[in-house]
Amino acid sequence: MDAYTYLVAGKRFSASNLTELKQQLSAYGLVANLDERGFGSFSTRRMSDPEKTDRYRMLPHHNGFNEDAMYDVVVGLQIGNTLIVGSRSEIEIDMQAIRKAMNKVKKDIPDAKVMIVSYLD
């Protein structure tokens, strides 16, 4: 089993289904690039963006994209990531890159945070 760890400037959205996720995103003027069945790009865009624009990524909050946690996601800009194989890994990021990502994300998601998200696959 592999472990993935991401450093993300963004926000967690925890929804039980696609309709609920769409409602949560719309409060921020965002829309998921998914069709009504949940297929498509795991990304979001502003409602004013052309379709299929990948403005922000949707990353799994935990346990990958499985049926039980499909819409428990972190939406934002991925700043860094690592695949952990074994017992040790590192993510090295310049503070300026974190500030730049946060400034960009906060234009759409004012309550965004820098988050470290891990899940097993």
- Six-digit token pair at 65? 């994209």
User: Can you tell me the distance from the alpha carbon of 90 to that of 102, in angstroms, rounded to the nearest whole number?
Assistant: 21
Residue 110 pLDDT class (50, 70, 90 cuts): very high
pLDDT, mean over the chain: 84
Has residue 87 got a pLDDT over 90? Answer: no
Beta strand extents in 35-91 (DSSP E only): 40-46, 56-60, 72-84
| pLDDT tens per residue across span 36-85 | 877 788 899 999 999 889 999 998 876 555 555 578 899 999 887 665 55
pTM here? 0.83
Distance of CA 117 to the CA centre of its chain: 9
Sequence-distant (≥ 6) Cβ neighbours of residue 105 within 8 angstroms = 9, 10, 56, 76, 77, 112
| pLDDT tens per residue across span 43-57 | 999 999 998 899 999
Q: Sheet harboring 113-120: ordered strands across?
A: 30-34, 40-46, 56-60, 72-84, 3-14, 113-120
